[in-house]
Amino acid sequence: MPVNLTSDQQILWQHGFVKLNGTIVTTWVTMIVMSLSAKLITRKLKTEGDISRWQGSLEIIVTAMEEQIKEVGLSEPAKYLSFLGTLFLFVATASLGTVIPGYKPPTGSLSTTAALALCVFVAVPLFGIREQGFVAYLKTYTKPTFIMLPFNIISELSRTLALAVRLFGNMMSGVMIIGILLTITPFIFPIFMTVLGLLTGMVQAYIFSILATVYIAAATRIPKLKAAVVQAKRDTKSLKAQH
Amino acid sequence: MDSVTVVAVASVATAGITTGIGCMCPALGEGRAVATALTSLAQQPDASATITRTLFVGLAMIESLAIYCFVVSMILIFANPFWNHVIAQTGGK
């Protein structure tokens, strides 16, 4: 049985050194389907009267994501919704697409998940700098003491690796288990594994986006101690001014 | 045994051991985590949202260890780097 670990090795079209593999095609098809459907649904938005079913379901998704982001500790979810929501929806759609026969999830390839993890890796400092300022953000790497600087940097790198490999491993294992089971017990059992794969796919989408949210929340949090000290100083100043 | 057989035996055996141990230990850890989370859920049902979220994040962290082992064993079986090396060497002879 020829087993492809990922859909990277499935080359559909080749011209010179330009290769079009299965991952690129499924990623673009997923992206086009998602953005076209979002465009179609949001074309006629209504704020009153009967709203369409599609608008209702989109609203459920968006408000649920906003709530989740808020619960993690980001008080203004609208700032982060576009990034985190896109991550969640892409990973979720990619894993839900496995119900379509012949669809290999693009997240089952290490290159896709590495790209997603690199997006998080870049986005976390950007959001952190936007909230705290450049110097203040860089200073968080030396918290609690200066000795922790290399460990903080290592943790930043290793969690990016962990994000990528976790998603890749889960998606790839689902596809691979179904592939192996198809050769052993062809009829009923692979269906159960597909259902289980859908469940783990949704859980992985949730975990990927919630981890990104947690990282961003940790980077954008202004240290409470300092904020309290500043507030206390202001309070004493205003008290003195009153007297 | 020639070197190809040695590499094949070593890869397959190591892949099995890797997945075996790599499933066993994270399973113990995850079981403890879930049990503790259920206990605290029973004590404080109001905090269920926070507990569940933290549990999921923690489980993801633990599970990624098992996934690392799985990926390593998959690489050993299906995309073994030593395999091509040995075949290239014996083919060169």
Q: Which residues of B touch A169 (CB under 8 A)?
A: 64, 67-68, 70-71
Domain annotation covers residue A237: no
Number of neighbouring beta carbons within 10 Å of residue B70: 22
Judged against a pLDDT cut of 50, whether residue A67 lies above it is answered with yes
Residues belonging to chain A with any Cβ–Cβ distance to chain B shorter than 8 Å: 3, 5, 71-72, 162, 165-166, 168-170, 172-173, 176, 203, 206-207, 210-211, 214
Contacts of A149-158 with CB under 8 Å at 24 or more apart are A156/A121, A156/A124
Residue A238 lies in a domain: no
The whole-angstrom distance between A164's CA and the closest CA on chain B is: 10
Residue B66 has pLDDT above 60, yes or no: yes
* Residue A84: pLDDT over 90: yes
**Contact call for A165 and B53, based on CB within 8 A:** no
> In this predicted model, what pLDDT tens digit does every residue of A170-180 receive, in sequence order?
888 888 878 78
Using the predicted structure, report yes or no on whether residue A214 has a pLDDT greater than 70. yes
Please state, in angstroms and as integers, the Cα–Cα distance from residue B63 to each residue in A167, B22, B82, following that order.
11, 10, 27
The tens digit of pLDDT for each residue in A178-195 reads 878 888 877 788 888 888
State pLDDT tens for residues A194-210.
Answer: 888 898 889 889 989 99
CB A94 within 8 A of CB A30: yes
Peptide bond into B81 cis (omega under 30): no
Q: Is the whole model's pTM more than 0.90, yes or no? A: no
Q: Which pLDDT score, from 0 to 100, does residue A228 have?
A: 61
Torsion angle, alpha carbons of A185, A190, A192, A194, to 10: 170
Q: Does A236 map to a domain?
A: no
Name the residue range of residue A100's domain. 7-42+53-227
CA distance B55 to B48: 10
Kindly state whether residue A232 falls inside one of the protein's structural domains.
no
Domain borders along chain B are: 3-92
Give A21-53 pLDDT, tens digit per residue: 888 888 999 999 999 999 998 888 888 878 888
Amino acid letter at A176? M
CATH of B3-92, picked from 1.20.20.10, 3.40.50.720, 1.10.260.40, 3.40.640.10, is 1.20.20.10
Domain count, chain A: 1
pLDDT at A1 > cutoff 50: no
